[in-house]
Amino acid sequence: MNFRHLNRVVLTLLAAWLAVQLCLWWRTPIPWMLGPLLVTAVASVMGAPTRSATPLRNAGQWVIGAALGLYFTPQVGALVVSLWWAIALAVVWALAMGALFGGWLQRQHAVDFEHLPPGAGRATCYFSSAIGGASEMTLLAERHGARTDLVAASHSVRLVIVVLSVPFAMQWVQSHWGLAVDTRLLSGAGPVNGLGLLGLALATAAGALVMASFKRANPWFMGALLSSMGLTLCGVEWSTIPTFLSNAAQMVIGVSLGVRFRREFVHTAPRWLLSVGLGTVGMLVLSGVFGQCLAWATGLQAATLILGTAPGGIAEMAITAKVLQLGVPVVTAFQVCRLVAVLMLVGPMFDWLGQRPKAA
């Protein structure tokens, strides 16, 4: 990393920290992530030379993954396992909703893709609509000759809309009607312990490195999560994660989301971005209804199931659940299982559904 790049990273982090202070003053939900995301996205679109350091982003995912794993006590693990049928339904729902969204995008933009090679238009719409795995969907789209710029933009727009709308909606509901905290789903870890925190850091880092060596998706998040989860399920509770580390992790994750947006982003197929935005809002509404139905069927809090089925990212939805104390392990389990299913099944489903016709 050269001095110029380092300087831009530092200035971006400073702007992010100032945005956090403003959000704390305004009492916005998850201020340590939303503030940095918004200020970085706006600055990037206006042409400011914002930068996110990959090592910091990885460290942020590492900390959040380790913190979320601490919620999976043996009792919580048994509860999550008993919800296998609800998780399976949520996976089917997400795959079906993504496929329907892709079909809608294709109908809306069939004319726009007439100049592309055969099948490229459908591939663009299909992989743009998958719920989760943004980088993996972009790679799959590239293999099928799709417009990867539109695929990447679609996932960025979807993620930002969900991250901005869901926490505010949850906070509004909490302030007007209240959201009861399910004490069964709170973290089982005790106070911060120096040696215990060091052991947890080493164990979760090892898990992340193993995942990275196998080139798995989100290795620093998933590896840390699985390692921390495994320890907690076995009754090992070495230490909790200090609040300042969790806050710093949220900040760098917010920055990493915001820098995806550049000045040229808003000039790239604005009609396409509008369609993606409208479709995302529609998926949010449908997912909210589906979450309510699952809550009725399982007896769990509706807010927890809505977060678990929301078309956002694992870390972002789990952070929202963590800050608002809305059932982190259930939300995490739903989101993780959905991501795994998307990564494994979306590609084969593309072939099975026959979405590679002779004409786009």
Q: What is the CATH number of the domain that holds 137?
A: 1.20.1530
CB burial of residue 214 (10 Å; 0-12, 13-18, 19+): exposed
- 93-142 pLDDT, tens per residue? 999 999 999 999 999 998 888 888 878 888 999 999 999 878 788 888 88
CA distance 66 to 220: 9
User: In this structure, is residue 360 part of a structural domain?
Assistant: no
Judge whether residue 196 has pLDDT over 50.
yes
pLDDT of residue 190: 72
What are the percentages of helix, strand and coil residues in the chain, rounded to 5? 75, 0, 25
Judge whether residue 161 has pLDDT over 90.
yes
Answer yes or no: are the C-beta atoms of 319 and 167 closer than 8 Å: no
Average pLDDT over residues 214-227: 89
Residue 318 structural domain:
3-45+52-352
Structural domains in the chain (count):
1
User: In this structure, is residue 222 part of a structural domain?
Assistant: yes
User: In this structure, is residue 172 part of a structural domain?
Assistant: yes
User: In this structure, is residue 257 part of a structural domain?
Assistant: yes
Q: Is the pTM of this model over 0.85?
A: yes
Rounded to an integer, what is the distance from CA 334 to the centroid of its chain?
Answer: 12
pLDDT confidence band for 186 (50 / 70 / 90): low
pLDDT confidence band for 359 (50 / 70 / 90): very low
User: In this structure, is residue 359 part of a structural domain?
Assistant: no
State the average pLDDT for the chain: 89
Helices (H) and strands (E) in the chain, counts: 15, 0
- 30-49 pLDDT, tens per residue? 999 999 999 999 999 899 99
User: In this structure, is residue 165 part of a structural domain?
Assistant: yes
User: In this structure, is residue 261 part of a structural domain?
Assistant: yes
Question: In the structure encoding, which two tokens stand for residue 270, read together?
Answer: 């604005």
pLDDT of residue 118: 78
User: In this structure, is residue 358 part of a structural domain?
Assistant: no
Residue with tokens 């699985």: 226
